[in-house]
Amino acid sequence: MDDVTEAPRGPVVERVPEGDERPRMVCDDCGFINYENPKIIVGAVVTWGDKYLLARRAIEPRKGFWTIPAGFMELNESAEAGAAREVMEEAQAEVEVGALLGVYSLHHINQVHLIYRAEMTTPDHGAGYESQEVALVDWADIPWSELAFPSVRWALEAHHRHRGETNFAPETCPEIPHRIE
């Protein structure tokens, strides 16, 4: 009789499944194959007039650092709707989503960031549960040295560069720091 006292552990074994070409994470307890794909982060550079909406992160990674509202795109929403949802969740602000500012393939962490331009429809905002603090700041007061991720800087700079433009190609990663492979 097999010893079944050991707790099963989910898809933690790396193997090339039959009929596939690449190694996938499989579970030897239940046979599940976890087809891991890159995940989509949706977010927005949000403005009210000339001011930028920034949130100080209440959660790891980079707790205490400033970010734009962004997070994992969920099922059954468009990228634009997801970006608006993240703004509401993290900064309690209602926005209209506009142009796509950047498509950042962060392949060292298997994420593609779709970052939009968005304008608040009212000045109301506040800290969602993932934020310690939310603020509307002038361009000159953006805390560049306290931004949570390089992609936050890229997106803010893309927004600034494309002020007044309505038809432009989204930017891509200007650099891939900390590449791990």
User: Which spans of this chain sit near Zn ion (rule: CB under 5 A)?
Assistant: 27, 29-30, 32
Q: How far is the CB of 110 from Zn ion (least distance, A)?
A: 22
Helix (H/G/I), strand (E/B), else coil: 141: helix
100 vs 136, beta carbon nearer a copy of itself: 100
Cβ closer to a copy of itself: 11 or 152? 11
Q: Write each residue from 99 to 138 as x if it is in contact with a copy of itself (CB under 8 A), else as -, in one continuous string.
A: xx--x-x-xx-x-x-x------------------------
Distance from C-alpha of 78 to C-alpha of 49, rounded to nearest angstrom: 26
Structure tokens at 128: 């969602």
Chain positions 65 to 94 lying near a copy of itself, rule: CB under 8 A, are 72-81
CB 148 within 8 A of CB 70: no
> Using CB distances below 5 to 8 A depending on partner kind, what does residue 146 bind out of Zn ion, a copy of itself, none?
none
**DSSP of 33-85, one letter per residue?**
EE---PEEEEEEEEEETTEEEEEEESSSSSTTSEE-SEEEPPTTS-HHHHHHH
User: 66-67 and 33-34: which strand pairing?
Assistant: unpaired
Binding site for a copy of itself (CB under 8 A): 2, 4, 7-11, 22, 27, 29-32, 34, 36-40, 72-81, 99-100, 103, 105, 107-108, 110, 112, 114, 166-170, 172-173, 181
